[in-house]
Amino acid sequence: MDAVVNTLFFIDEKYNIRKQMVFAVCFPLFTILALGIDSVYFNDHYFDGRQITNLLVVIYYSFFFWFSDSYLRKLMFVMVFLSYIGELIFCPLLGMYNYRTEAIPLYVPFGHAIVYASGYVFAHTEWAFKNDNQLRKYFAAGFAVLFLLVGIFLKDVFTLILGTLFFWVLKRKKWQNLYCFIAICVIFIELTGTFFQCWKWVPKIFGLIPVANPPMGAVFVYAGGDVLLSKIVDYWKRKQQVSNIEILK
């Protein structure tokens, strides 16, 4: 068992930066395909494609995982479980949004991991590193304008609240572009999913706070979740390093 864990999460033998980038770049097209098959339109005109989408997403996740480096693998693995817990809190418990069917689709937690991994890969490209300072300015201005426009014209108070929290996280994390790249992927999948009616946000959160469908401020959930995700993975990494040292002794 230890050998399997070490192979999957602590050895970069299968890491292939080019193939990893291919999966990140293909993320938008794959998202449209997968969510289109799970859409209300597809269900009404053909058949319920939920199981096909489940299979496609799990396969895509598996290949993305396989060709990633060991650290990103750990992030993707933990993200599946962390996002499922988040789904249970935000969907059935707090009732912020609803899926096409009553149950949370299997593909959702794996999809969250793909979204995160795609943003992570883009943020760690050579181009992103070279243009880090400029991107920080553009991202900050772009997201500020986006949140304000949505809040004012769509009366999305929820986005104004979460958008403020998103900038709070950015400031605490020293304006790392990682969160902005992930946020762009989040916005894309939210727009695609709600367009195909795979899920729908309620008109008012807790029956009080007006929200658009989807709210752009949802990016804060990923930013906030990443803080916890990174701590879990870093703890896992440190624990493994300590175990390796003890074995060598």
> How many other CB atoms are found less than 10 A from the CB of residue 104?
15
Domain ranges in the chain are 2-248
The pair of structure tokens assigned to 109 is 């937690």
CA max distance for the chain: 65
Per-residue pLDDT of the chain (249 residues; tens, 9 = 90+): 565 666 667 666 667 788 899 999 999 999 999 999 999 999 999 999 999 999 999 999 999 999 998 889 999 999 999 999 999 999 999 999 999 999 999 999 999 999 999 999 999 999 999 999 999 999 999 999 999 999 999 999 999 999 999 999 999 989 999 999 999 999 999 999 999 999 999 999 999 999 999 999 999 988 878 778 878 887 777 776 655 555 555
Residue 93: CB atoms within 10 A of its CB come to 9
What percentage of the chain's residues is helix, strand, coil (to nearest 5)? Answer: 75, 5, 20
Q: Is 64 exposed, middle or buried (0-12, 13-18, 19+ CB in 10 A)?
A: buried
CA pair distance 183, 219, nearest whole angstrom: 5
- The number of helices, as runs of H, and strands, as runs of E, in the chain is 12, 4
The Cα–Cα gap between 109 and 79 comes to: 7
Q: Whole-model pTM? A: 0.92
